[in-house]
Amino acid sequence: MAYKLHPELRGRFEWHADTTDAHLNGTRLKARTSLKAVPTSVLRKYETACSPQKRERYDLEIEGNHSYLANHVVVHNSPETTPGGRALKFYSSIRLDIRRIETLKEGVEAYGNRVRVKVVKNKVAPPFKQAEFDIIYGSGISWEGTVLDSGLERKVVTKSGSYFSLGDERLGQGRQNATAFLREHPDVTQQILAKIQADAGPDQVVSARLLPTAIEVPAEEKAAEEEAPADAESNGAPARAAGARAR
């Protein structure tokens, strides 16, 4: 294992098995003498205290394989890393494992990816749930595609061969044409969402787009504020008249 250490650290950290214990005999003694030293990073090597918040690690990949140089030690591991720079894994409350399972193409031109997301860590809800959706280049997650998937799962949308249908209405042939139809006809998308919401029950909100939009909510609040002063003035007039009569 010494060859995996950085040249300046080789031979500096020696360890020898202790064979003086009285309870060692036979197999135990043989096992103890066969133990070998395993190189580890030594925090005393650094001048300052090495707390988790200040610990820095830079990995350099060795071209052509999955070997990395981490803290002067060559390690063999997966090239997958958690994004976030120097963030430690146990600091995060939620960790998502995102993998591409399909490349979406139109002819020979790729326009997006089909991805599977698995919740590998969750401190605020049950983990290990999975979801699949499309990520389109230049626009992000395909919302119409998720509506189509939910409709198929709830049997609101039916698929016959390569054709997608909502009742007797054809949405299109192929997934790309069906999502394009939903994008061009938001009223049909709302019908699918309403049926999914009715099947899910009142205690579960399927989509925030079924709720009042950001433009509608301030309009409703403004109308309520305009009505409130009028009611106050109408209620205040009889009170002033009663006070005048009392005087």
- How much of the chain, in percent, has pLDDT values that exceed 70? 47
Distance of alpha carbon 196 from alpha carbon 190, whole angstroms: 10
pLDDT surpasses 50 at 87: yes
pLDDT at res. 198 = 83
For 143-213, give the CATH class. Answer: alpha beta
Which tens digits make up the pLDDT trace of 222-246? 566 666 555 545 555 554 545 555 4
Of residues 223 and 93, more confidently modeled:
93
pLDDT at res. 113 = 94
Contact 101, 95 (CB under 8 A): no
Distance of alpha carbon 150 from alpha carbon 159, whole angstroms: 13
Residue written as token pair 């003086």: 20
pLDDT at res. 128 = 92
Of residues 67, 84, 85, the one with CA closest to residue 76? 67
Lowest mean pLDDT across 48-52, 65-69, 108-112, 202-206? 48-52
Sequence-distant (≥ 6) Cβ neighbours of residue 226 within 8 angstroms: none
Structure tokens at 93: 């409350």
pLDDT at res. 231 = 53
Domain spans in the chain, listed from the N-terminal domain onward: 1-81, 88-141, 143-213
Which tens digits make up the pLDDT trace of 25-42? 666 666 666 655 555 554
Distance of alpha carbon 159 from alpha carbon 185, whole angstroms: 19
Of residues 140, 59, 127, the one with CA closest to residue 97? 127
Could you tell me where the DSSP H helices lie in 3-88? 27-33
Mean pLDDT of the residues in the chain: 72
pLDDT at res. 196 = 85
Lowest mean pLDDT across 52-61, 78-87, 198-207? 52-61
Which tens digits make up the pLDDT trace of 192-209? 888 888 887 766 666 655
pLDDT at res. 95 = 87
